Copies of this chain bind each other. A is one copy, B any other.
């Protein structure tokens, strides 16, 4: 039931392109969903992809274009003239059209808009382009269905039929007053079951209605839609006038992107990169954190150098440097991951920083205690040196405690001063904890031995 793209499929298609079997290609490709067509195109080189693309129905072509991977689309569009792009934009919903135009250079953007056929459509898209792409305004489309409160159901259905031509998916109808202010939301189901002469005013839900404002962040749009299980949410401007609608499919993308971004940040990747991004982009996204890690490593080397004397007397201490550093890093990363996820899902609404750090420190103590006991036994057998065993056990316990506390405190503190807490996870926490862990280790060793 899912379309499976195979190597064989692509090879056959390539052969059909080369031998010019247009009819066969047309039949195959037009039966596919735009998302599947996009998968096919991405596996062809751009010029072959274009020759297939031009065979598609207008609407399907435009939809497939939006399903392409961003990077591929950028390259692909370079093969098109601005008039050809304008023809695609004419077919798209306003939200997709604005996204597509937003990806173009400013000069190309203006050229494409000037060549669009439907100038009403064009001016709606220009309106949308003014919004920040990370806001509700940047996500919304201007295709939605409205009803006036003084209409009867009969009139509403007639008007809907007119409006529905350009609205691809109708989930509900937004009831507005004569100034376009949002009054209520009406489900299609209720309309279907209503008497033709009932007034809309008597039908729309009197409950708290869920809507967002144009300048709400896309994260908060996702939060509301997820919390209240909405498939579409109306967007109003600062005067409460209805200006757009956001559908769940766009928000699902937001949810996935945010989760992926947190994961990438925690893994020390600073720029959104995909497995098929170029080597340059891939390197650029990775280098900043690696260099910070490198600086941390150099700092660590200075700390160890500071204890050169101790190391000369007890060279065995050097063996356990990676153990201390990696345990500190691992525990810190765990703590910060839990905090970052908690912040992302808004679990902390009413809890203070100190209480949270205290709890994580307690967990760190428990984990540290278990590690300390194990390493004490290992250290004892490893060297017969009771001092080494005590040093390892004691410093591991302290390291776990500090690493957990720091791993909790840093993201919470960053969040409090409105910096993205995900920045703190991964390499940053690891590096900070490496340094603190090693300092603890050598101080403890000094105290135990001398």
A interface residue numbers (CB < 8 A to B): 1-2, 5-7, 10, 31-33, 35, 39, 43, 157, 160-161, 164, 169-171, 187-189, 191-193, 207-208, 210-213, 220, 223-229, 231, 248-249, 252-253, 255-256, 259-260, 262-264, 266-269, 273-276, 279, 282-283, 286-287, 289-291, 293-294, 296-298, 300-302, 304-305, 308, 311-312, 315, 318-327, 329-331, 333-334, 336-339, 341-342, 345, 347-350, 356, 359, 362-363, 366-367, 370-371, 374-375, 378, 382, 425-427, 430-431, 434, 438
Q: Evaluate contact between B189 and A268: CB separation under 8 angstroms.
A: no
Known A7-B350, A263-B266; judge A327-B293 contact (CB<8 A): yes
Q: Evaluate contact between B283 and A367: CB separation under 8 angstroms.
A: yes
Count identical subunits in the complex: 2
* Top 6 A-B pairs, shortest CB-CB distance: A297-B323, A259-B259, A275-B342, A267-B337, A229-B249, A301-B319
Q: Evaluate contact between A425 and B348: CB separation under 8 angstroms.
A: no
Q: Which residues from B are CB-within-8-Å of A287?
A: 367, 370
Report Cα–Cα, A248/B157, bound state, in Å: 27
Known A189-B170, A347-B274; judge A321-B322 contact (CB<8 A): yes
Specify the main secondary structure of chain A where it touches its partner. helix
Report Cα–Cα, A350/B199, bound state, in Å: 57
Q: Which residues from B are CB-within-8-Å of A308?
A: 315
Report Cα–Cα, A33/B262, bound state, in Å: 29
Report Cα–Cα, A10/B350, bound state, in Å: 10
Q: Which residues from B are CB-within-8-Å of A256?
A: 226, 255, 259, 345
Q: Evaluate contact between B282 and A363: CB separation under 8 angstroms.
A: yes
Q: Evaluate contact between A192 and B267: CB separation under 8 angstroms.
A: no
Q: Evaluate contact between B311 and A315: CB separation under 8 angstroms.
A: yes
Which chain B residue lies CB-closest to A340?
Answer: B263
Q: Which residues from B are CB-within-8-Å of A286?
A: 331, 334, 363, 367
Q: Evaluate contact between B327 and A329: CB separation under 8 angstroms.
A: no
Report Cα–Cα, A133/B1, bound state, in Å: 21
Q: Which residues from B are CB-within-8-Å of A356?
A: 275
Smallest beta-carbon distance A221→chain B, Å: 10
Could you say which of A321, A378, A434 has the most chain B C-beta atoms within 10 Å of its C-beta? A321
Q: Evaluate contact between B275 and A348: CB separation under 8 angstroms.
A: yes
Q: Which residues from B are CB-within-8-Å of A350?
A: 5-7, 10, 43
| Partner among B1, B188, B220 whose Cβ is within 8 Å of the Cβ of A188 | B188
Smallest beta-carbon distance A295→chain B, Å: 9
Q: Which residues from B are CB-within-8-Å of A291?
A: 371, 374
Q: Evaluate contact between A371 and B290: CB separation under 8 angstroms.
A: yes
Known A5-B349, A228-B35, A342-B275; judge A267-B333 contact (CB<8 A): yes
Q: Evaluate contact between B279 and A362: CB separation under 8 angstroms.
A: yes
Report Cα–Cα, A294/B370, bound state, in Å: 11
- Between A and B, 17 residue pairs with Cβ closer than 8 Å are A5-B349, A157-B192, A225-B252, A226-B249, A226-B256, A275-B356, A282-B338, A282-B363, A286-B367, A290-B334, A290-B371, A294-B375, A297-B323, A297-B326, A300-B322, A301-B319, A326-B434
Report Cα–Cα, A123/B113, bound state, in Å: 59
Q: Evaluate contact between B329 and A329: CB separation under 8 angstroms.
A: yes
Smallest beta-carbon distance A205→chain B, Å: 12
Q: Which residues from B are CB-within-8-Å of A330?
A: 268, 289-290, 293, 427, 430
Q: Which residues from B are CB-within-8-Å of A375?
A: 294
